[in-house]
């Protein structure tokens, strides 16, 4: 093998080694969770909403789902406590809400009028267990539709996301 051949072989080995190094690196720094199903039950007298979240990714962190209890007695300081399935821990958030855009609103029509879209963003406050460690510092987001009778459901095609 001549000098040109050994230089080409060296270049191929270096390229292959760099591909190996790239593929061995983690895809993201912190685990992310996305949940595609949720049921909601609001108690407007107690100013709480209880949600059962399911079909969550990253089961090592999420346990596949959770129970979320939100307190909206003070609309300027909404809080949410999420207890993850399988003993994966608890995460707590302060939540802000705003109306969603007309373009993002895929809510159903009730009595000839499109249900309202509310976008919630939760800021991580504290947490325990695997979920608390993995989701620390990450935001949670959900897009909720609200009927005239104040029934909540996920905006069709959206997910509750963490991170």
pLDDT computed for residue 32 by the predictor: 86
In this prediction, residue 8 has a pLDDT band, given cuts at 50, 70 and 90, of very low
Flag whether 5 is in a domain.
no
Structural domain of residue 127, as residue ranges? 33-162
As for how many domains the chain has, the answer is 1
Query: Residue 18: is its pLDDT beyond 60?
Result: no
Flag whether 38 is in a domain.
yes
Task: Annotate the chain with DSSP letters as a single string.
Answer: --HHHHHHHHHHHHHHHHHHHHHHS-S-SS--EEEEEEEEEEETTTTEEEEEEEEES-HHHHTTEEEEEEE-SSTTSEEEEEEEGGGTEEEEEEEEEEEPPTTT--PPEETTEEPEEEEEEEEEEEE-HHHHHHHTT--EEEEEEE-TT--EEEPTT--EEE-
Percent of the chain clearing pLDDT 70 (strictly above):
81
Query: Residue 106: is its pLDDT beyond 50?
Result: yes
Task: State the Cα–Cα distance between residues 59 and 36, nearest whole angstrom.
Answer: 13
Task: State the Cα–Cα distance between residues 6 and 22, nearest whole angstrom.
Answer: 24
Query: Residue 160: is its pLDDT beyond 60?
Result: yes
Query: Residue 14: is its pLDDT beyond 80?
Result: no
Flag whether 82 is in a domain.
yes
Query: Residue 111: is its pLDDT beyond 70?
Result: yes
Flag whether 14 is in a domain.
no
pLDDT computed for residue 9 by the predictor: 34
Mean per-residue pLDDT over the chain, rounded? 85
Mean pLDDT over 121-146 rounds to 96
In this prediction, residue 29 has a pLDDT band, given cuts at 50, 70 and 90, of very low
Flag whether 136 is in a domain.
yes
Query: Residue 137: is its pLDDT beyond 60?
Result: yes
Mean pLDDT over 3-23 rounds to 36
Flag whether 24 is in a domain.
no
Flag whether 8 is in a domain.
no
Name residue, tokens 């509750």. Answer: 160
- Assess contact for 123 and 90: CB atoms under 8 A: no
pLDDT computed for residue 2 by the predictor: 54
pLDDT computed for residue 1 by the predictor: 53
Flag whether 55 is in a domain.
yes
Query: Residue 78: is its pLDDT beyond 50?
Result: yes
């Amino acid at each position: 093998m001549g000098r040109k051949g050994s230089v080409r072989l060296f270049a191929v080995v270096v390229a292959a080694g760099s591909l190996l190094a790239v593929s061995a690196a983690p895809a993201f720094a912190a685990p992310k969770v996305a949940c595609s199903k949720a049921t909601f039950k609001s108690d407007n007298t107690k100013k709480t909403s209880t949600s059962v979240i399911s079909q969550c990714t990253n089961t090592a962190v999420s346990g596949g789902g959770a129970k979320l209890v939100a307190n909206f007695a003070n609309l300027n300081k909404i809080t949410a406590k999420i207890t993850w399935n399988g003993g994966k821990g608890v995460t707590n958030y302060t939540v802000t809400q705003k109306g969603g855009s007309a373009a993002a609103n895929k809510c159903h029509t009730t009595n000839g009028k499109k249900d309202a879209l509310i976008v919630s963003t939760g800021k991580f406050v504290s947490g325990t267990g695997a979920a608390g460690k993995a989701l620390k510092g990450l935001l949670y987001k959900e897009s909720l539709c609200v009927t005239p009778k104040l029934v909540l459901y996920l905006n069709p095609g959206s997910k509750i996301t963490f991170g």
